[in-house]
Structure 1
Amino acid sequence: MARVPHPTKKHPALTYQEPTLVKVGRYSLTTFLVLVVLSLLYVGAWFLTSMQLRSGLQDWFAARQANGYLAHYAEKSARISGFPFSVKATLQDVVFAPPKNEFAQHPWVWSPSELTFSITPLPWTIRTLNIDLSARQTFSINNQSYSGTAETALLSLDWMSKGLPDEINLSIQKLALAHKTLPQGVDIQKLSFTSARQSDGNYAFDLTGERATLPVGLRGLGQRLDDIILRGHLNENFAHDGISPSSLIKWRDAGGIMEAQRMHIQYGPLLLQGNGTMALDGDLQPVGAFSARIQGFFETVNSLQRAGVVRGPDASMAKVVLGMLAKQPQNGGPATISLPLTIQNRAFFAGPVQLIDLPILNW
Structure 2
Amino acid sequence: MGKRSLLLSVVGILVLLVGAWSAWWFYSARLAISSFQDWVSEQRSQGYDINFQRIDTGGYPFSLALTATRFGVAAPLRAWTVSGDALTVTFKPWQLDRYQISSDQPLRLSAVMIPESQKTPVVIQDLTGDYLFHRDGAKHQLRLIAADVSGPNGLTIDTIGVSGTMPFHAPQDRDADIMTGHLELVGAKMPGLVPQGLSEQIEAAILDFTVSGPQPNPEFSMAKRLSDWRDAGGGVEVSKIALAWQDLNLSGDGTISLDEYLRPLAAFGMQATGLSETARRFEEAGLIDRQIRRYIEMGVGLLSLGSGQAGMVRFPVTIQDGILSLGPVALTEIPPIVAGAGPLPPAVPAPKTGEITTFPDLAPPPTVSDETLDAGSNQMQGTDPQAAPAPAQ
Q: TM-score, normalised by structure 1?
A: 0.61
After superposition, the Cα gap between the structure-2 partners of 1:195 and 1:99, relative to the gap in structure 1 and judged at 3 Å, is closer
Q: 1:176-255 to 2 correspondence within 5 Å?
A: 186-188=156-158, 190-197=159-166, 201-202=176-177, 203-214=179-190, 216-220=192-196, 221-236=198-213, 239=215, 244-255=222-233
Q: Measure the CA separation in 1 of the matches of 2:283 and 2:42.
A: 48
How far 1:160 sits from its partner (Å)? 10
Matched, 1:50 2:33: yes
How far 1:211 sits from its partner (Å)? 2.4
Tell me the equivalent position of 1:8. Answer: none
Matched, 1:262 2:240: yes
Matched, 1:132 2:102: yes
Tell me the equivalent position of 1:14. Answer: none
How far 1:47 sits from its partner (Å)? 2.1
After superposition, the Cα gap between the structure-2 partners of 1:108 and 1:193, relative to the gap in structure 1 and judged at 3 Å, is closer
Aligned with 2:230: secondary structure? helix
After superposition, the Cα gap between the structure-2 partners of 1:120 and 1:359, relative to the gap in structure 1 and judged at 3 Å, is farther
Task: Give the one of 256, 266, 290 matched to 2:268.
Answer: 290
The code of the aligned residue for 2:240 comes to R
Q: 1:107-126 to 2 correspondence within 5 Å?
A: 112-122=84-94, 125-126=95-96
Q: Measure the CA separation in 1 of the matches of 2:122 and 2:25.
A: 43
Q: Measure the CA separation in 1 of the matches of 2:132 and 2:240.
A: 26
Task: Give the one of 276, 280, 283 matched to 2:258.
Answer: 280
Aligned with 1:227: secondary structure? strand
Q: 1:60-75 to 2 correspondence within 5 Å?
A: 73=52, 75=53
The code of the aligned residue for 2:330 comes to Q
Unaligned runs of 5+ in 1: 1-28, 101-105
After superposition, the Cα gap between the structure-2 partners of 1:169 and 1:235, relative to the gap in structure 1 and judged at 3 Å, is same
How far 1:355 sits from its partner (Å)? 0.5
Same amino acid, percent of matched pairs: 19
How far 1:45 sits from its partner (Å)? 4.9
C-alpha contact 2:83 2:108 (8 A) present in aligned 1: yes
How far 1:177 sits from its partner (Å)? 5.8
Give the count of matched residue pairs: 303
Aligned with 1:218: secondary structure? coil
How far 1:287 sits from its partner (Å)? 0.9
Q: Measure the CA separation in 1 of the matches of 2:84 and 2:103.
A: 8
C-alpha contact 2:261 2:336 (8 A) present in aligned 1: no
Q: Once the two structures are superposed, what CA deviation does each residue of 1:273-292 show, in whole Å capped at 9, x if it has no partner? A: 11111122223332111111
Task: Give the one of 80, 83, 88 matched to 2:65.
Answer: 88
C-alpha contact 2:22 2:61 (8 A) present in aligned 1: no
Aligned with 1:258: secondary structure? strand
Q: Measure the CA separation in 2 of the matches of 1:235 and 1:350.
A: 26
Q: Measure the CA separation in 2 of the matches of 1:258 and 1:148.
A: 27
Aligned with 2:233: secondary structure? coil
Q: Once the two structures are superposed, what CA deviation does each residue of 1:49-70 show, in whole Å capped at 9, x if it has no partner? A: 212214534775897776xxxx
Q: Once the two structures are superposed, what CA deviation does each residue of 1:214-272 show, in whole Å capped at 9, x if it has no partner? A: 57432244432212222232234x64865955554444334332222222211234321
Aligned with 2:30: secondary structure? helix
Aligned with 1:135: secondary structure? coil
Give the CA RMSD over aligned residues. Answer: 5.0
Which of structures 1 and 2 has the larger relative contact order (alpha carbons within 8 angstroms, sep 6+)? 2
C-alpha contact 2:283 2:293 (8 A) present in aligned 1: no
C-alpha contact 2:273 2:311 (8 A) present in aligned 1: yes
C-alpha contact 2:276 2:297 (8 A) present in aligned 1: no
The code of the aligned residue for 2:193 comes to G
Unaligned runs of 5+ in 2: 1-12, 111-115, 169-174, 342-393
Aligned with 1:217: secondary structure? coil
How far 1:302 sits from its partner (Å)? 5.8
Q: Measure the CA separation in 1 of the matches of 2:57 and 2:299.
A: 65
Aligned with 1:360: secondary structure? coil
Q: Once the two structures are superposed, what CA deviation does each residue of 1:107-159 show, in whole Å capped at 9, x if it has no partner? A: 9987643222334454xx43544321332456796877897833xx2133358
After superposition, the Cα gap between the structure-2 partners of 1:52 and 1:264, relative to the gap in structure 1 and judged at 3 Å, is same
